[in-house]
Every structure is written in structure tokens, then in C-alpha cells.
Amino acid sequence: MISSVPLNAGRRRVFGSVFSPASLQARPPFESSSELDQTQLASFQSTGSSSTVRTASLASPQQERSPDAPRDREIWEQAWSAATAFLAVPNQGFAPIYDARQTDGSEALKDWNRLSPPSKETADALSYLAATIQQGNTGYGVTAGSKSLIDWYGDEIRRHFLVNLRSGLHELLKTPGKESLLRTIVDCLQLARRIYLAPVVHYLLPLLQAQKQGRVLTQLQRGFHTVVSYSLPWSEISPLLGGELAQDALIILGIDTLLENTAEAEAEDEGGEDEMEVDRQYSVSYADWKNEDSETRAHLMTEGEHDQVTMARDRLLAFLNGLQQVGLGGDKAQKVFASVMNIMMTEFVRAAYTGQWETPSSVPQHLRHWIENVFARLAVQVLAIIHTPHAGGQPSSPLDVSFGDVEKWQEMGVARLGALRTSELFDVIVDWPASSGAVDDLRHFTTHPAARAHVTQSFITILNQRLLHPGASTVEILQLYISIIRAFHLLDPKGVLLDRIARPIRRYLRDRDDTIKVIVSGLLAEPGATSSKTPSYANETLVELSTELSKAHQLSMETNTSELDWDDMNWMPDPVDAAPDYRKSKSSDVIDSLVSLFDSKETFVKELQTLLSDRLLQKREHYDQEISVLELLKVRFGDSALQACEVMLRDISDSGRVDEVIRKDQGLLRPPTRLFNKRPPEPPVPDIHAKILSRFFWPEIQDQDFKIPDEITSLQRRYATGFEALKASRKLTWRNGLGQVLVELQLGDRAFSEEVTTWQATVIHAFHSDHDEGATRTVPNLAEQLEMTPTLVRSACLFWVSKRILTESSRDEFSVLEYLPSDDEDEFGIPGGDGGDADMQSGDASNAAAAAEAAAAAAAKEAAEAAAMEKMNLYWQFIVGMLTNQGAMPLQRIVMMLSIVVPGGFPFSNEELREFLAGMVSRGKLEIVSGGNYKLVH
Amino acid sequence: MDYTMEDTQNSAPETLEATKLSGAGQRGDTQSVTKRLQAELMQLMISPSPGISAFPDADGNLLSWTATITGPTETPYEGLTLKLSFAFPNNYPYSPPTVLFKTPIYHPNVDFSGRICLDILKDKWSAVYNVQSVLLSLQSLLGEPNNASPLNAQAAELWDSDQAEFKKHVLARHRDLDDE
């Protein structure tokens, strides 16, 4: 207490010099300051809690009034009451603040009486109290130790806020869907803050030491922040804040222009505004960036910011400033900001790069550039404002964002890009090779196993959804598979990813019946023949394959790398995420991948044989395409596998020579060399050429057997003799159903000459007559005469009807149209004759042609059925063997056994087999015993 | 995206792929045996020989067959249906199949449990033999037993001494195996 004596004395002296005793005495201790006007006084007194505080604070001094300090006490009390009266916040409620939120606030401050300078006495009181604060204790000795003016004012702020503003703010918060609601709130709060702090700042703080000023202000501010965050639940603020941030960030980060641009690009044709030109200087669009040279690129995002962006940035930063001031900033706001930025990055990547698949791709560079210059810039600016107030309220170092952070963001950006590309991957591959840039982008992403697993996994899901279903044609799937092979080869040269992706596709393709057929016909297709059309999709062959075949061949010659090349200095181990049975394959080799789809080469070779035989039996001058394909395939499969095909090709080329020799030997040559002339009207000997096939090496050829005209038969006999003379111990079997015939018909009024099939020629030959009037034949007669199936006969007749050689006089009865009806002469002879009739006629002809085609198809089907029955006979042998050795069996068991033992599987359904067996039962070869078991009849 | 998932995803198709594509090890052997047997069956079906027939059992792996021989004319077995079982080893055709008569048969070279003494089924086996040739050999064995090395000495004796009695024994022993 010794030290306090001089202080007390000093204080009294100071106090005395400032406060005139008279004036102090003139004022009753509990009187309000006379400067306060009547309303303020009223409101002041009506504030119950405030009065309580005051009386409470004064109650203790009254009790402990020590005899030596009544004077001080009184002075202090008077000063206190003057100061609190001055500082007390009028209870005006929320409405005035809300109304004044848009103004600069000075008006409101005046209204609230926050700016009017204190009267002399009040000022004295303030400085007296300030002095007590200054000294560290609270003024009048121990009496008011628990209470300082500042604490009181803090309470006052809290009280006022809770009483007047809180409910108003709550109501504001509840207002649904209000535009920039948070901004309003922040404005209000800022105004409130100014109202609260203005008198302190203006009149109290100057009285304090500089160092103390800060502390006092911080204390008051912290009190304000606490009550604000207490009154406004963060759960309601954060979505609002998120919305505000997102709204401006969209503009600042340039995402809105990107979205607009895409919309604009669509509307460009309708003379869209040249806004693009204005935007040019500052654009985050990838397309713009890409078109610039590297010099400009560097500046594109950093300079010449668009007005709108600047405005948005200023607005956002100002808003955040306010936010921080009213205590809604800090780490909570940072969290919201972070989540918004997170969304923004995804959004940007999506908006900027969707569908940007050009090669070479500089998307990753552009993205990194954007993150560094635009994204990070905003982050730095925002974080500088909504810093966490720690370490005595000092803002932490201005660089909250280190360069490491920016790098991390860039990595995240690339990962987002990867995710985007992964989701686009299917479309990318459909567009291949125009879209290789996208795969480049993806390569930046697939650097670690998890990312690679993600890519493959999601791609397989998409594949299953979009490709591997019955709706997709085999050609499409194969086409895409080829693209996938190429794309993934680029993505991952090691082929591990492809290996993983390819498995489901390959499994699926294996289940498709026509896969081999498509592949083989693709291989045999003429490259370039269909290249003018849209690539390969529309026409049902994969022309690409044949191109690929010749190309891949050259490649395989160049790169002959094997795992056993021990001098390979660039050898790399298999990637860690390779499957256990992963083999470093030449996965990029499309042909190999496709051919290896099947268990054995045999299936493939068999299909190749079938197709080859079809093509070789066509009448053509040369077969270069087939030969070259075969040679290329031999490189892959080895000679032995393709031996049969080889023989087939040789047969064809040999038969040319043999044909010549035989014809010379047998005197079949005729001076007028018209090839394939079987039935000329004048010279009785038609010309015959043959292709000699080695039956053993050719696939089974579907044949329709019938009796050919005698002239031809005799020719064939002579030809066969010649052949047997030439090649002893070999015999010719004629395949009458195959081949072409050049038919020349001499009719009453016209001649006809065309190349047709053998059976068509045979049928028309049967109509041959020397009489002038047209001969008439019926289908059953012809069928009997020619030993041909009626369907085939009818089909041939209809064909001739379509050529207007025959007419169907009544059902199944055809006669030769020796003379065309007169209106036909109009059609052919005099142009502009009876047009309608001619139309009708040609319509008839085309109808007949269609009918002929249908009939031919029916005939072919019949033949196929016959062939199937033929096969069924073989199965009958199996069934007999089965029932002999295993005893009676039910149908199910028979089908099961057949499917096991028959090579290539049993092609008939249960129903078909049941029917067949029923036939056998009725023929007495089988009987059905108890339990539906079939048993052989001995 | 964790690795366990990835693993399962990889392993499932891989086994499938392996069965489809790989041709190594034990499986490969079985496959070649199967192939061979399938070819033999096909041959039997395409060009059946009279009096013999064979077909795989229903167990589905083709390694056990049942065969039927009809007794040749002018032998004591005329008109009888004799069933046999074939069991093919995994290294067929490099080892002979095990052939047993299932139908009880009275024959000098066959014992009462159906075991057959035939040189080509033992030391004279060669990979060029097949089911068909074995069955044909057995068919001829019915008419011309090898009495030098009999499994059934009584039958061998009887064959030489009294054909009529032999045939009686044959018929007495024979029982048609009915379909189960």
C-alpha cells in the first residue's frame, strides 16, 4: 500500500486539475449527464439490465466505503455514471441498422449519437476512468476491482446486441431465398460494430497509451465477435457464405465465361456478339490459350483482367473484409472457402476441358498455368483476409500460401483432369484417333497404381454399359476394341492397362458367334475399296483390319524385341500392378490380339477357308488380294497352319493352266473364243472351263445337285477324260451347283445374253424348243426332269420372269415369252409411249426379280436344311453308339452327352433333337421305354 | 479403388483366360488325351465297324468308355452282346487303356472278373492302336483264343477238346447286362 499512496495522491492531483470540484458537486451522483437529451435519458433509464449493472457495481463501494476515501469514491462514481451514460448504446432495435446498412454509416452513427463529442464533464469522466484503466487497476481502490469501464462496455455491447439485434438478425436469416442475404447481414453487423466501437475509438482510446489501445480494442472486438458467432449459428451461415464465395469465384476464376462461351459457340452462327474480342486479352479458355504463342500465353491470365472480373474480385474481397471484421471470418470461413475452391477446381476442369481432345495436348500446362495464376492468386488474396486471428490478433505472415501449396493444387488439378478424362474415355476412344490428346492428358494422371486401377475399373464399367451388350454389332465392338488397343498402347506402352481392359472385351467377343467371321472378312476385304465411305462402321466389314495387317507386318519386321534379349539395355521390369499372368505381349498388334481371341488357330483357319473358298470360286481374273493376305497371315501363323488355304489358292492358279491343257488335248477349243459360252444357238458345242479343287483341302461346299443338260454332261465327260489322262489316278467330281454360265437366248423378237448361275441356265435350257411359239413347262415337271428341288426350279423360273424371258401363265406354269407384248415395244422402241403401262410392266419385272430372290433364298435354305439333316445322320451315329453302350437314356442326357462328345458342340436344340428322335421312333429304330428313356430297337 | 478389389478383379478373368488359352502342364496333357479320344470317337462314328461299338461314359471327361461287341458268327459267342469297360490313362495313347469285360464271359483268355490277357493291351501296346483296333482284336480273340497262355485253363482245355461243351459253358455263364 505504500506505493499506492503517492499514486493516489498523484491521481487526486490530476483529477483535481481536470475536474472542477464545483461541477462535480453540482451533479448528483446518480444523475444522468445533462447533455443527454430527454429521449436518450429515457431509454437509458429504461434499460433495466444496464441499471442493475450500475447499481450492482456501486453497491459494493457503498458498503465498503472507507472513511478516508469518500471523496474519491464520489468522484469515481460520478465519473462512472457520466461515462457509462455517454457510452451506453441506445436501444433502437434492429430496424434502423437494417435500413442504414447501405449508407456509409455516418448518418446512422449520428442517429445513434455515437459521434457527438462528449461534454466537458463526460470527457473529464472518461479521462478519469481512462487513467484508472491506464494504471492497470480498475480505478477507485479495491472497491471497483472487478469492474473496469472497458469490461462494462463489453457487457453493454453484448447486452445490446442480444436484446436488440439478435432477433432481427434471426429473422433476416430465416428469410428464404434472399439475394445476397449474407452480404446484408454482414453490412448490418459492420454497422453495428461501428456503432459499438465508434465512441470508444474516438473518445476513449486516445486517452489510453498506444500499447494499451490495441489491447482494449481487441478485447472489445473479441467480445463482439463472440456474441455475433453465438447469435448466428454457423450451420446457417456456412451455406450462405459458400454461396457468396461460389458466386464471385465463378467470375473471378473465369468459369462463367467458359460456360458462356460454350453456349455462345452454339449460338455463334446467329451472329453472336463479338464479345470474344473484348475478352481476348484476358481469358482462361483453353481454346484461346492454345492458339497463342508461348509468349502471349504467359501473360494471358495475368494481365489485362476483365472489368467484370476485377469488379467481382473487389466485391468479394470487400465482403470478406467485412466478414472478417464482424467475426465471421477465421478458420471456419477458411473451411468454407476451401470447399468452395474445391468445387471450383472441378468445375473449371469440367468447363474448360470437356471435349478438348486435340493433339498435341497442352491441357495440363494450361491447367497448371491457370492454377498458379488465377486459382492461387484468389486463394492468396482471400486467405490474407480471412486469416485466423492468433498470436495476439496479429495477422500471420501475409503469405499463407506457400509455393508448395500451389504445387499441391496443381497436382490436384491434374487429378481432376484425370477424373474428367476417365469419365470421357469411352467417347474419346470412339473418336479415336482424332482424340489422342485426351489420352495424353490421362497419361499425366495414371502415374500411380491407384489412379490406374481407377481408370481401368471405371472404364470397364462404362464398357459393360455401353458396348458389351447385344445391341452393339460385332463390327462396332471390334472396331472399338481396335481403337482401345491403340489408345491404351499410347497411354501405357507396357500394356498392363490394356491387358486389364481387354479381358472383359475378349471374353465377350469369344461368346459372339460372328466374331471370327467379321475378323476374317475384314482381313480379306480390299483395303481402299471402301475407304471413300465413312470408315468401316456402315459397311459391315472391318476394312481397317486388312490395312492393319499389311502395316503390322512391316512393324513386326522392325521391332523384334523379346524378353530374352539380354543385351537390351533399356529393359524394364513389369509394372507393379501387372496381373500375375501378364505377359509382355505385342498387345499393340491389333491382328494378333484379335486372332488370339480364340483357343486355337484352327477355328480361325477354318473360317478363313470358308471365306476364301467363297471368294476363289467367283469368276475373276486374278486373286492378288487373297494371295497377299495369305502371305501376310503365313508370317503370323506359320506355313503349316495355313496349308489348306495355300492349296486352295494353288488349285485355282493351277486349274487355269490345267484347263488350258485339257481343252487343247480334247479339242474343246473353238476358234471364236468366247469364254463361258455354254449355249450358243448356232454352234452345237458350248465352251466349258473348270476349276479343279482338291476336295480334301476345301471346306465343305454347299451344293445343289441336279441334272444338267446332256450337251454339258458329254462335255464334262470329255473334260474328265482329259484330266484323267493328264493326272493319272485322280478323278473329277463335278459340282454342278457352282459356277457361272453365259447364256445367250434367241427369242422370236430379241436376243438375250447374260451370265447366270448354272441352275438358272439349266432351267431355261429345259424351255428350249425349235418351234416358234413359246414352250410351256410346269414346275413339278421340271423338277422331275431335272432332278432339282421344286423350290429351286421355281426360283429359277421367277428369275427368268424378272428378265422377261418367261411368264407365269398360271400358278407354277411358265411359258417362254417369245414376243414381247406390243406395249413393251413402246417402252423400248418409241420413247414417250404409254408411260403408265411401261411403269407397270417394269414394276412387274422388279416384283418378279424380288420374288426370284426370295425363292432363291428359300431354295438355299432348303439346301441348308438338307445339309443339316446330313449332319444329323452323323449325330445319329453318336446317338446309336451312346444308346448301345450306355443303355437307354432320357432326352436331356442325350443332349448333354452330345454336347460333350461332338467336336464343336451340338448345334441343335432340345426341341429339334426331340423331333428327330420322334422320327426315329416312328421309323422303328428307337422306342421310348419307361421314364421317357430312349432305347434302341434291336 | 483399393487393391483388394483390384486383385479380385484381376484374378477372376485370369483363371478363365488360363483355361481357355494356356496349354501347359497337367491340364495340357489331359487336353491332348481328350482331343485324341474325341478324334477316335469321331472316327468310330463316321466309319463304324460291324459288331463293335463304343461310347464315352456320362461322367463327361471322356476317360472312361463303355464298348459293346457282338459275338462273331460261327463262334460260340454268336449273337451274344458283350460289354466292356475302357479306362484311359492320362498319358494315353502312350500307355494302353485298361479293358475289362463287364459281361460275364467264359473264354480261355478272360478270367472270371473280366480281366483280359491280350498282348496288345500289355507289353505289345503301341500308340498307333486305338479303341477300334482294340475292339477288333478282342472280337477276333473270341473266335480264336490264344490257348498258349490261358487265364481260364478249363476253358482252354475245353475249347480244344469239346466245342459243344464249351459253348454250353459260354451260354451258361453269359448274362445280358441290362440297362440300369
Would you state the pLDDT for residue A497? 79
Would you state the pLDDT for residue A780? 82
Interface of B with A in 15-54 (CB under 8 A): 16-18, 20-21, 38, 41-42, 44-46, 48, 53-54
d(C-alpha A533, C-alpha A529), whole Å? 9
Q: A875: number of CA atoms within 13 Å, CB side? A: 27
Antiparallel, parallel or unpaired: β A776-778 and A813-816? antiparallel
Neighbours of A913 (CB within 10 A): 18
Instruction: For A139-160, give one letter per residue: b (16+ CB within 10 A) or e.
Output: bbbebbeebbbbbbbbebbbbb
Among candidates A579, A573, A435, A607, which has minimal Cα distance to A502?
Answer: A579
Q: What is the CA radius of gyration of chain B?
A: 22
pLDDT at A804 over 80: no
Tell if the CB–CB gap between B62 and A900 is shorter than 8 Å. Answer: yes
pLDDT at A639 over 60: yes
Overall average pLDDT of the A84-101 stretch = 70
d(C-alpha B142, C-alpha B109), whole Å? 9
What average pLDDT does chain A have? 71
Lowest-confidence segment of A97-101, A182-186, A466-470, A800-804 by average pLDDT: A97-101
pLDDT at B52 over 80: yes
Tell if the CB–CB gap between A579 and B10 is shorter than 8 Å. Answer: yes
B6 chain-A contacts, CB cut-off 8 A? 449, 453, 457, 577
Would you state the pLDDT for residue B20? 40
Sheet containing A751-757, strands listed edge to edge, beginning at the edge strand earlier in sequence:
A677-679, A740-746, A751-757
A449, A881, A893: residue with CB nearest B44 = A881
Tell if the CB–CB gap between B56 and A900 is shorter than 8 Å. Answer: yes
Overall average pLDDT of the A589-615 stretch = 76
DSSP secondary-structure letter at A525? S
A933 chain-B contacts, CB cut-off 8 A? 179
Q: Which residues pair with A807 in a beta bridge?
A: A815
Among candidates A161, A314, A167, A324, which has minimal Cα distance to A241?
Answer: A324
- B14 to chain A, any CB pair closer than 8 A? The answer is yes
Residue A556 Cα to chain centre, angstroms: 33
Min CA distance, A469 vs chain B (Å)? 18
Neighbours of A36 (CB within 10 A): 20
Q: What percent of chain A has pLDDT over 90?
A: 0
Residue of A505, A885, A934, A938 to mutate, testing the B interface (most B Cβ within 10 Å of its Cβ): A885
Among candidates A496, A637, A478, which has minimal Cα distance to A573?
Answer: A496
Instruction: Report residue A751: phi and psi, to 5°.
Output: -115, 155
Contacts of A686 (CB under 8 A, 6+ apart): A677, A678, A679, A680, A711, A712, A715
B14, B58, B65: residue with CB nearest A580 = B14
| Top-confidence residue, A640 or A9 | A640
Q: How many residue contacts between A and B have a Cβ separation below 8 Å?
A: 88
pLDDT band at A584 (very low <50, low <70, confident <90, very high): low
Q: pLDDT (tens digit, 9 = 90+) per residue, A405-436?
A: 888 888 888 888 888 888 888 888 887 777 77
B6, B14, B180: residue with CB nearest A887 = B180
Q: What share of chain A is helix, strand, coil (3-state, %, to 5)?
A: 65, 5, 30
A506 chain-B contacts, CB cut-off 8 A? 17
CA angle at residue A32 from A26 to A36, to 5 degrees? Answer: 110
Q: A912: number of CA atoms within 13 Å, CB side? A: 12
Highest mean pLDDT among A319-323, A920-924, B66-70: B66-70
Highest mean pLDDT among A592-601, A770-779, A817-826: A592-601
pLDDT at A140 over 50: no
d(C-alpha A797, C-alpha A813), whole Å? 9
Beta carbons of A489 and A495 less than 8 angstroms apart: yes
B57 chain-A contacts, CB cut-off 8 A? 886
Would you state the pLDDT for residue A843? 55
Min CA distance, A458 vs chain B (Å)? 10
Looking up cell 486479352 gives A281
Highest mean pLDDT among A773-777, A808-812, A884-888: A884-888
pLDDT band at A108 (very low <50, low <70, confident <90, very high): low
Residue of A463, A515, A900 to mutate, testing the B interface (most B Cβ within 10 Å of its Cβ): A900
Min CA distance, A533 vs chain B (Å)? 37
Written as nine digits, the cell of A925 is 429304330
Beta carbons of A418 and A446 less than 8 angstroms apart: yes
Q: pLDDT (tens digit, 9 = 90+) per residue, A260-300?
A: 666 555 444 443 333 343 344 455 666 666 666 655 665 66
pLDDT at A34 over 60: no
Written as nine digits, the cell of A213 is 489501445
Among candidates B178, B102, B68, which has minimal Cα distance to A930?
Answer: B178
Please return the burial class of A744, using the count of CB atoms within 10 Å of its CB with bins 0-12, 13-18 and 19+: middle
Q: pLDDT (tens digit, 9 = 90+) per residue, A504-556?
A: 888 888 877 778 878 887 777 765 544 444 444 444 566 777 777 766 655 55
Would you state the pLDDT for residue A284? 60
Overall average pLDDT of the A889-915 stretch = 80
Tell me which H or E stretch contains B101.
Answer: strand B98-101
Residue of B4, B8, B14 to mutate, testing the A interface (most A Cβ within 10 Å of its Cβ): B14
Tell if the CB–CB gap between A885 and B1 is shorter than 8 Å. Answer: no
Dihedral in degrees, nearest 10, Cα atoms A598, A601, A606, A612: 110
Would you state the pLDDT for residue A185? 79
Tell if the CB–CB gap between B14 and A454 is shorter than 8 Å. Answer: no
Beta carbons of B44 and B31 less than 8 angstroms apart: no
Tell if the CB–CB gap between A457 and B9 is shorter than 8 Å. Answer: yes
Residue of B84, B117, B118, B158 marked active site? B117
CA angle at residue A912 from A910 to A918, to 5 degrees? Answer: 100
Lowest-confidence segment of A275-284, A367-376, A709-718 by average pLDDT: A275-284
pLDDT at B5 over 50: no
CA angle at residue A739 from A791 to A750, to 5 degrees? Answer: 75
pLDDT at A33 over 50: no
Rama region for B25: left / alpha / beta (φ>0; ψ in -120 to 50; rest):
left
Beta carbons of A417 and A441 less than 8 angstroms apart: yes
Contacts of A75 (CB under 8 A, 6+ apart): A15, A19, A24, A128
Please give the residue of chain B at the shortest CA–CA distance from A596: B21
B180 chain-A contacts, CB cut-off 8 A? 887
Contacts of A158 (CB under 8 A, 6+ apart): A223, A227
B16 chain-A contacts, CB cut-off 8 A? 507
Residue of A598, A877, A897 to mutate, testing the B interface (most B Cβ within 10 Å of its Cβ): A877
Residue A477 Cα to chain centre, angstroms: 17
- In SS3 terms, B106-143 reads as CECCECCCCEECCHHHCCCCCCCCCHHHHHHHHHHHHH
A581, A599, A901: residue with CB nearest B14 = A581
Written as nine digits, the cell of A207 is 486517452
Lowest-confidence segment of A217-226, A234-243, A457-466, B8-17 by average pLDDT: B8-17
Looking up cell 472378312 gives A521
Written as nine digits, the cell of B112 is 472270371
Would you state the pLDDT for residue A770? 60
Highest mean pLDDT among A53-67, A357-371, B145-159: B145-159
B44 chain-A contacts, CB cut-off 8 A? 881
Interface of A with B (CB under 8 A): 449-450, 453-454, 457, 500, 503-504, 506-507, 510, 577, 579-581, 596, 599, 874, 877-878, 880-882, 884-888, 893, 896-897, 900-901, 903, 933, 935
pLDDT at A558 over 70: no
Contacts of A270 (CB under 8 A, 6+ apart): none
For residue A816, give the 3-state DSSP assignment: strand
Global pTM?
0.58
Q: Which residues pair with A222 in a beta bridge?
A: none
Q: Which residues pair with A390 in a beta bridge?
A: A394
Would you state the pLDDT for residue A36? 39
Q: Please state, in angstroms and as integers, the Cα–Cα distance from residue A796 to each residue in A547, A589, A768, A790, A793, following that order.
A: 39, 47, 15, 10, 5
B17 chain-A contacts, CB cut-off 8 A? 503, 506-507, 581
Lowest-confidence segment of A330-339, A378-387, A581-590, B3-12 by average pLDDT: B3-12
Would you state the pLDDT for residue A236? 76
Min CA distance, B3 vs chain A (Å)? 8
Tell if the CB–CB gap between A900 and B53 is shorter than 8 Å. Answer: no
Residue of B21, B62, B100 to mutate, testing the A interface (most A Cβ within 10 Å of its Cβ): B21
Min CA distance, B46 vs chain A (Å)? 7
Tell if the CB–CB gap between B53 and A897 is shorter than 8 Å. Answer: no
| Top-confidence residue, A549 or A840 | A549
pLDDT at B121 over 80: yes
Lowest-confidence segment of A261-270, A698-707, A911-920 by average pLDDT: A261-270
Tell if the CB–CB gap between A897 and B58 is shorter than 8 Å. Answer: yes
Would you state the pLDDT for residue B98? 92
Tell me, yes or no, if B117 is annotated catalytic: yes
pLDDT at B83 over 50: yes
Beta carbons of A788 and A706 less than 8 angstroms apart: yes
Q: Which residues pair with B85 in a beta bridge?
A: B66, B100
Instruction: Report residue A889: phi and psi, to 5°.
Output: -140, 150
Would you state the pLDDT for residue A537? 41
Written as nine digits, the cell of A368 is 497448371
A508 chain-B contacts, CB cut-off 8 A? none
Lowest-confidence segment of A584-598, A710-724, B99-113 by average pLDDT: A584-598
Lowest-confidence segment of A136-150, A690-704, A791-805 by average pLDDT: A136-150
Lowest-confidence segment of A142-156, A332-346, A449-463, B55-69 by average pLDDT: A142-156
Please give the residue of chain B at the shortest CA–CA distance from A903: B38
| Top-confidence residue, A101 or A304 | A101
Would you state the pLDDT for residue A294? 59
d(C-alpha A8, C-alpha A6), whole Å? 5
Beta carbons of B54 and B135 less than 8 angstroms apart: yes
Beta carbons of A708 and A762 less than 8 angstroms apart: yes
Instruction: Report residue A358: phi and psi, to 5°.
Output: -65, 155
Would you state the pLDDT for residue B62? 81
Q: pLDDT (tens digit, 9 = 90+) per residue, A438-484?
A: 777 777 777 777 888 888 888 888 888 888 877 788 888 888 888 88
